[in-house]
Structure 1
Amino acid sequence: MTRVIDADVVVIGGGPAGVNAAIAAGRNGARTVLIERYGFIGGMSTAALVYPWMTFHTVEGKQVIQGIAQEMIDRLSAMGASPGHLRDTVGFVHTITPYHPEVYKILAIDMLKEAGVKLILHSFVDHVEVEGDRIQSVQLTSKSGRIDVRGKVFVDSTGDADVAYLAGAPCLQGRAGDNKTQPMTMKFRMRGVDLNRVKQYMLEHPEEFYHKTPFDELADLPLSGVLGFYKHWKEADLPINRDQVLFFTGPADDEVLVNTTRVQGLDGTNVEQLTDAEELGRKQVMMVADFMTSSLPGFEKASISQVGAQIGIRETRRIDGRYSLQVADVLEGRRFDDVIARSGYPIDIHDPSGNGVTAAWVKGDGAYDIPYRCLLPKIIDNLLCAGRCISTTHEALATTRLTPSCMATGQAAGTAAGIAVLRGLTPHQIDVKELQQKLIEGHAHLGDAIAFQ
């Protein structure tokens, strides 16, 4: 027998985008359900150890992502679980934001409950019931049998556009021409690292590290991230198609999160290829950890303390929406009348087949707008998307996929869903000016022109 749950807003995917969407919908008075396949919240931020969050700021240091995302940072900081926004000692962006993932798991649930959200864990959406141009329900497979969750508005924050795809909305995958996606990475933590020794080596050998590393400030900054060790990596000659070592420090004083493995050419929406990726990623973890302890200054006594519950996925499906954010929109810092979020993160494409990273920075004031239309799929009228699967090109996805940007689009999607329910409209029928006003009231940053209308 199938159990039936009724709601106003149904959010699928409990990563940062989905959490913020559900909180926003609940705060706007909608009966909200959040569905998550794991037994914990956080998506890639917890299951795949995506750490730290980067970035809330432009390259010049102006904060452009606030709202629920900043509220979470403030509350984590008050709990001793985040130092707040730190200078990025890699030099790729202005700030990064470390956090303790185990505390975030708890805080996220606390904030969901405060907003009146019903949480359903250990449940996987495997069917979407559609009538005409509207979703009627999503059907879950769970430990306690089938569950049919009915709603008025649905938010797909699965990262893989699972709900949009199952509902028949047009989707895209990878780059134009060959559909190849950015590689996956199995991340892992190490303890017992002497970070003072690492910093001293960096100061003595700056040529071995990323050229934008802020060496003139480094002696007085807490070490937050490292990109380089080029000579050591080249000499190791590991069978991993990457050209450097990347890791970030924390949460503990002797701890780092290593982002160096690279699994290419496999499809994160194909279960057999994803299985292969998990196996290969874990083998690469052992290779990289052995290399670091045997070759890198400061890692002589280090050891693996944690490996991701799953491999980290940068790119799979995304919707082909009512507007697709273009790379020129990002790089030119374009403004849109229907802006619902901003971001200052650069284009950051991990090569689908090569060993490098293609990067390009936002011009102008260092931030670009994300239009509301990017959250709206074609065909299905009562569905919104948030996070990694919004409507962009492959190149523009290389910035919108980052967690703070996903948090911002999540808050926008949940707020829009709440307005749609309140007004008896579909998401594409709501007044965008009302949505923007609600977002500003929720402390989101939409740019000075919007804030003072």
Structure 2
Amino acid sequence: MKRELEFDVVVAGGGPAGINAAIASGRTGAKTLLIERYGFLGGMSTVALVYPWMTFHTSSGKQVIKGIAQEIVDRLMEQGGSPGHLRDTVGFTNTLTPYHPEKYKLLALEMLEEAGVEVLVHSFVDKVEVDGNIITSINLTTKSGPITVSAKRFVDTTGDADIAFLSGAPCLKGRDSDHKTQPMTMKFRMRGVDLSKVKEEMKANPSNFYKKTPIAELDELPLTGVQGFYKEWNESGVPINRDQVLFFAGPEDDEVLVNCTRVQGLDGTDVFDLSEGEKEGRKQVLMMADFLQKKIPGFEKASISAVGTQIGIRETRRIDGQYALTIEDVVAGEKFEDTIALSGYPIDIHDPTGKGVQANDIEGDGSYGIPYRCLVPKKIKNLLVAGRCISTTHEALATTRLTPSAMATGQAAGTAAALSITENVAPKDLDINKLKAILEENGVVL
């Protein structure tokens, strides 16, 4: 027998954007449901071991992402689940934020419960029912049979714009020239790493590391990230199409998260490509671990301690929304009348076909604004999106996809969904000043 559920707001996708969207919606009093296909929350942060969170700050160290995102960090710190915001010793950003994924999974559930949000895991959205330009319900595939969920507003935080795509909202994918997307990465952790030995190597051979690495400050800073070992990598012959070694310290003292595999040319919304990507990613993990153990100082006694539940996805579908944020907007530090979030993360495009990464800094005060219009799709009137699938160009997605930015757009989307019900208007027609006022009251920096 098919079950039917009814809510005010349904958030599809239990990653950081979805968690924050559902909390924001629930706190307004809207009857809210969060749906997640895995048995736990956290999205790429937990499923794919995306770690650490980067970044809540601008290049000068000014914090521009707060609100629910900062609440989460504060509560993790209270539980010993995060040291808070630390200097990025790679030097790519000013700060990064380590966190313990298992503690984050549970904290998210606790905060959702406090906000009155119902959570349904092991549930996969496979169909969206639309009447005209209104989503009436979504269909879930579950172990206990099909479930139909109707709502007044839907928030798509699936990362792949699944709800938007299935509803018929216009979507885009990849770069304009060939629709190829940024590569996938199978991340993994290693224990038994001697980070003091790594730090000594960095101080002894600074030219072998990223040009912005704060070598002169390493005696005073905890080692949080390392990018380089160019010589060792170039001599390795490991058949992975990248140009350096990259890893981050933690969450344990002898542990690192390795971000070095690179699976290119596959579509993260194609199940056959995903199947191939999972196999290739795991092959690369073993090759990379063997290289680190044999060639990188400090890894002599290290071993794999965890591998992502699934391969990490940087880019798939995104909506073609009311406005598309561009690389020019980001680099110029553009602020908009309908800015609902700020970010200080630079452009960071992992080449869809080549070895390198395109990086562009942000001018002005080091932050750019994300317009509310980027959360509002064309055609479908009762849908908002947040996280990786908001409306941007391929190039601008290379900053908005990062977790703190996703958390910020999630809070904005959840707040807007609930407010539009209270105001009895379509999300597109929401009074932006009312939305911004509520966001600022709840700690968001605008």
- State TM-score, norm by structure 2: 1.00
1:426 Cα deviation (Å)? 1.5
The amino acid that maps onto 2:366 is G
* Partner Cα distance (1:392, 1:38) in 2: 27
* Partner Cα distance (2:424, 2:215) in 1: 56
Alignment of 1:367 onto 2:384: no
| 1:143 match: secondary structure | coil
* Partner Cα distance (1:150, 1:424) in 2: 17
Partner of 1:5: 5
The amino acid that maps onto 2:144 is S
1:46 Cα deviation (Å)? 0.1
1:277 Cα deviation (Å)? 0.2
Measured against aligned partners, the alpha-carbon deviations of 1:407-451 in whole angstroms (never above 9, x if no partner) come to 0000000000110111222111211100000100110000xxxxx
Partner of 2:78: 78
Counterparts of residues 172-191 of structure 1 (less than 5 Å):
172-191=172-191
* Partner Cα distance (1:407, 1:230) in 2: 33
* Partner Cα distance (2:308, 2:239) in 1: 21
Measured against aligned partners, the alpha-carbon deviations of 1:349-404 in whole angstroms (never above 9, x if no partner) come to 00000000000000000000000000000000000000000000000000000000
Partner of 1:451: none
* Partner Cα distance (2:11, 2:113) in 1: 14
Counterparts of residues 300-379 of structure 1 (less than 5 Å):
300-379=300-379
Partner of 2:294: 294
1:200 Cα deviation (Å)? 0.4
1:164 Cα deviation (Å)? 0.2
- State TM-score, norm by structure 1: 0.98
1:2 Cα deviation (Å)? 1.1
Partner of 2:388: 388
Measured against aligned partners, the alpha-carbon deviations of 1:268-317 in whole angstroms (never above 9, x if no partner) come to 00000010000000000000000000110000000000000000000000
* Partner Cα distance (1:127, 1:295) in 2: 49
Measured against aligned partners, the alpha-carbon deviations of 1:58-100 in whole angstroms (never above 9, x if no partner) come to 0000000000000000000000110000000000000000000
Given that 1:153 and 1:426 are in contact with CA atoms closer than 8 Å, whether structure 2 keeps it comes out as no
1:101 Cα deviation (Å)? 0.2
| 1:436 match: secondary structure | helix
| 2:146 match: secondary structure | strand
* Partner Cα distance (1:237, 1:181) in 2: 25
Partner of 2:403: 403
| 2:243 match: secondary structure | coil
Poorly superposed stretches of 4+, deviation over 4 Å:
none
Partner of 1:98: 98
Counterparts of residues 11-22 of structure 1 (less than 5 Å):
11-22=11-22
The amino acid that maps onto 1:200 is E
The amino acid that maps onto 2:199 is K
* Partner Cα distance (1:333, 1:234) in 2: 36
1:219 Cα deviation (Å)? 1.4
- The count of corresponding residues between Structure 1 and Structure 2 is 446
Partner of 2:267: 267
% identical aligned pairs: 67
* Partner Cα distance (1:364, 1:429) in 2: 31
* Partner Cα distance (2:3, 2:161) in 1: 25
List alignment gaps of at least 5 residues for structure 2.
none
Worse-superposed segment, 414-423 or 388-397: 414-423
* Partner Cα distance (2:150, 2:78) in 1: 37
The amino acid that maps onto 1:138 is I
* Partner Cα distance (1:444, 1:242) in 2: 37
Given that 1:321 and 1:391 are in contact with CA atoms closer than 8 Å, whether structure 2 keeps it comes out as yes
CA RMSD of the aligned region, Å? Answer: 0.4
Given that 1:56 and 1:404 are in contact with CA atoms closer than 8 Å, whether structure 2 keeps it comes out as yes
1:237 Cα deviation (Å)? 1.1
The amino acid that maps onto 2:22 is A
Alignment of 1:113 onto 2:113: yes
Counterparts of residues 13-162 of structure 1 (less than 5 Å):
13-162=13-162
